[in-house]
């Protein structure tokens, strides 16, 4: 195949092949669409969970409570000391009164709160909320702060981070398994479509061989067919995902809202900057390879006839 007219002919024949095997072509595009749609959803999920995890790592700090009878002066000294650590991003002081007010607002009715009068049942709850520059240093720093004189107890978020990390890990493995299975189905369907195409054009192919068609000339229309199916199977879910991104994200977020107070998502452009080329590469790659290997088998059969 050495000129533009051959290329145009093969391309045209490839498109015609899709039309000839409408049913199988539609099934292949649909499976590829389903597969890459799920891939996209999984990707959204992973990217956003990771993003939230990062947010959690940097925005969820540890809480340090003071020993009984610690004076305000000692608290100020402790604040200065903790702030002097390189790993510390910020230290926020919350008095026992503020803690009680916050608790009343979020957990008690006005009537019930009034029964306490001026009493503060959380009088030992004055605390520091300490944020770190990196979550890696959280555990070590929590231990160091707990050992400081005047600090009674430190609550860190290690468990939350561990839970999120585990969830992220399960999601990754689960998505890879599901996507792998779907890709196998898509490859099988593309292979079946090409097999059908070859059997419909068996006579044409044998004539092509007899009148001197090169191997690539015989193969090219089927490779075009596979690539176009793969491309369609990638572009359709990408368009749907683009339109539905925030709806899907909101749905995902609602499942994990209990873990976070505020939810921030990765920007559309950031997500599609990776998802679009990856999906197109997967679609086109599977279309091409599925056709290529099926053709090897089918053309060998025709030659042996």
Partner 1 sequence: MKKEKEYLQDEFYDDEDMMDEADYPDEEADDYSMQTPVIVMEHVSKEYEGATDSQALNDVSFRVRKGEFVFIVGPSGSGKSTMIRLMMKEVSPTEGRIYVAGKDLAGLKKRQVCKYRRNIGIVFQDFRLLQERNVYENVAFAQQVIGASARRIPKEVSKVLNLVGLSNKFRSKPTELSGGEQQRVALARALVNNPMILLADEPTGNLDPQNSWEIMELLEEINKRGTTVVVVTHNQEIVNKMQKRVISVHNGVIVEDKRGGYTHE
Q: Which residues contact partner 1 by CB under 8 A? A: 1-3, 5-6, 8-9, 203-204, 206-215, 217
Residue with smaller CB distance to partner 1, 94 or 209: 209
Question: Please, what is the minimum distance in Å from the beta carbon of residue 26 to partner 1?
Answer: 21
The single residue listed with the structure tokens 């709160």 is 113
Question: To which H or E segment does residue 135 belong?
Answer: none
Q: What is the DSSP letter of 134?
A: -
Q: Smallest Cα–Cα separation from 195: which of 305, 293, 303?
A: 293
Asked if 52 and 260 count as a contact pair (C-beta separation under 8 A), the reply is: yes
Question: Please, what is the minimum distance in Å from the beta carbon of residue 175 to partner 1?
Answer: 43
Q: Is 218 exposed, middle or buried (0-12, 13-18, 19+ CB in 10 A)?
A: buried
Question: Please, what is the minimum distance in Å from the beta carbon of residue 232 to partner 1?
Answer: 24
DSSP string, 52-94: HHHHHHHH--EEEEEPTT--HHHHHHHHHHHHTSTTEEEEEEE
Question: Helices 138-146 and 158-200, interaxial angle, to 10°?
Answer: 170
DSSP string, 217-264: HHHHHHHHHHHHHHHHHHHHHHHHHHHHHHHHHHHHHHHHGGG-SS--
Q: Smallest Cα–Cα separation from 91: which of 140, 129, 63, 64?
A: 129
Residue with smaller CB distance to partner 1, 224 or 282: 224
* 151-155 β-sheet, strand order: 88-94, 127-132, 62-66, 151-155
Q: What is the DSSP letter of 125?
A: -
> What SS3 class is residue 269?
helix
């Amino acid at each position: 195949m050495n000129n533009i007219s051959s290329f145009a002919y093969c391309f045209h024949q490839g498109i015609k092949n899709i039309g000839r095997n409408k049913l199988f072509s539609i099934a292949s595009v649909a499976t590829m669409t389903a597969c890459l749609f799920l891939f996209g959803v999984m990707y959204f999920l992973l990217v956003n969970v990771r993003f939230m995890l990062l947010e959690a790592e940097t925005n969820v700090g540890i809480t340090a409570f003071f020993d009984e009878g610690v004076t305000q002066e000692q608290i100020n000294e402790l604040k200065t000391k903790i702030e002097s650590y390189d790993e510390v991003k910020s230290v926020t002081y919350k008095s026992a009164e503020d803690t009680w007010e916050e608790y009343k607002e979020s957990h008690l009715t006005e009537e019930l709160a009034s029964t306490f009068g001026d009493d503060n049942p959380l009088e030992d709850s004055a605390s520091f909320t300490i944020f770190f520059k990196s979550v890696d240093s959280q555990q070590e720093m929590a231990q160091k702060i707990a050992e400081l004189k005047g600090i009674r107890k430190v609550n860190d978020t290690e468990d939350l981070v561990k839970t999120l990390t585990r969830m992220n890990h399960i999601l990754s493995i689960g998505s890879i398994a599901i996507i792998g299975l779907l890709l196998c189905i898509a490859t099988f369907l593309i292979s079946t479509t090409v097999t059908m195409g070859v059997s419909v054009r068996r006579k044409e192919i044998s004539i092509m061989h007899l009148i001197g068609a090169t191997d690539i000339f015989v193969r090219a229309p089927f490779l075009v067919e596979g690539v176009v199916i793969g491309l369609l199977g990638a572009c359709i879910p990408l368009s749907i995902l683009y339109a539905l991104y925030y709806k899907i994200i909101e749905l995902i977020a609602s499942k994990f809202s209990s873990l976070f107070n505020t939810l921030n998502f990765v920007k559309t452009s950031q997500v599609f900057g990776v998802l679009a080329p990856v999906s197109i590469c997967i679609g086109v790659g599977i279309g091409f390879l599925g056709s290529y290997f099926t053709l090897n088998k089918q053309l060998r059969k025709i030659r042996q006839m």
